[in-house]
């Protein structure tokens, strides 16, 4: 299965806490996690100069699941690229929005809402609860996972009601969050997964890694439909007599 990881490289990741969390950089770390589990990975790094042009039509066409982490440079991505990703998801490609990718252009295009949420960045404890134990994303994941330090993302989260709500997060400050949610968009699946602030080593937690692997597997297309040929209706079979209804 072919994954395309689009990860940001921002100044916060170069600061003391960011380097401590991921000395190899978060994108490289997550790419390696997928690679060592047998996935074919293309890693695209967005920095302040990136406008999304690295995400070519060819890459989009080859991608089974696109996994996106961004924060500072959402607005730099061209609308045209976000729209191409949206259409690819309609055709079957999976899209996973991690953490601050809730405000990424492709995710917002797929949701059609502001995707605003409440947040507080003091590195508090989060307890992630599995709600849907039978869901494929929850397989092999403990009933709850404690993340010692995470940025609080809480409700109200302005998203369409998810088709499937897999996990909910609780924070030390009392807030709750729909932390792992799934939507179907025509033929493709969209997953949002909340943990993963860049200065907290959340993606190093084994249970979180299991979830990252599960979301990629779950979002993969069973069949890529691609562009549909417009259906041309044929005449109905036999006669239709309106008088039959009287
Ligand atoms: Zn964050």
Residue with tokens 């897999």: 166
Distances (CA, A) of 82 to 51, 60, 66, 112, 147: 10, 11, 12, 12, 31
Query: What's CA 218's distance to the chain center, in Å?
Result: 11
Distance from residue 121's CA to the centre of ligand 1 (Å): 7
Q: Compute the distance from residue 115 Cα to the ligand 1 centre, in Å.
A: 15
Per-residue pLDDT of the chain (246 residues; tens, 9 = 90+): 999 999 999 999 999 999 999 999 999 999 999 999 999 999 999 999 999 999 999 999 999 999 999 999 999 999 999 999 999 999 999 999 999 999 999 999 999 999 999 999 999 999 999 999 999 999 999 999 999 999 999 999 999 999 999 999 999 999 999 999 999 999 999 999 999 999 999 999 999 999 999 999 999 998 887 766 677 888 888 877 777 665
Distance 197 CA to ligand 1 centre (A): 4
Q: Are 60 and 68 in contact (CB under 8 A)?
A: no
Please enumerate in sequence order all residues whose Cβ is within 8 A of that of 106, keeping only pairs 6 or more positions apart, or say none. 66, 68, 77, 81, 82, 85, 86, 89, 95, 97
Q: How far is the CA of 42 from the centre of ligand 1 (A)?
A: 23
Q: How far apart are CA 169 and CA 195, in angstroms?
A: 9
Find all residues with CB under 8 Å of 179, minimum gap 6, and list them: 128, 153, 167, 168, 169, 193, 194, 195
């Amino acid at each position: 299965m072919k994954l395309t990881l689009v990860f940001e490289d921002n100044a916060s990741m170069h600061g003391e806490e960011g380097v401590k969390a991921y000395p190899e950089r978060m994108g490289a770390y997550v790419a390696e996690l997928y690679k060592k589990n047998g996935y074919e990975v293309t890693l695209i790094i967005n920095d302040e100069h990136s406008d999304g042009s690295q995400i070519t039509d060819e890459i989009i066409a080859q991608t089974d699941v696109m996994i996106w982490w961004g924060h500072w440079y959402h607005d730099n991505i061209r609308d045209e690229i976000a729209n191409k990703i949206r259409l690819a998801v309609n055709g079957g490609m999976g899209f996973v929005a991690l953490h601050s990718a809730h405000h990424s252009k492709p995710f917002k295009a797929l949701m059609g809402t502001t995707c605003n949420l409440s947040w507080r960045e003091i590195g508090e404890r989060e307890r992630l609860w599995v709600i849907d134990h039978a869901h494929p994303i929850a397989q092999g994941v403990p009933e709850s996972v404690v993340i010692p330090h995470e940025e609080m993302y809480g409700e109200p989260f302005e998203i369409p009601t998810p088709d499937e709500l897999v996990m909910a997060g609780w924070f030390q400050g009392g807030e709750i969050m729909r932390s792992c949610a799934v939507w179907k968009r025509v033929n493709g699946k969209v997953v949002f997964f909340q943990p993963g602030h860049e200065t907290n080593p959340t993606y190093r937690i084994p249970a979180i890694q299991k979830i990252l692997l599960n979301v990629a597997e779950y979002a993969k297309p069973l069949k890529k439909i691609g562009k549909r040929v417009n259906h041309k209706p044929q005449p109905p079979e036999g006669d239709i007599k309106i008088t039959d209804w009287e």
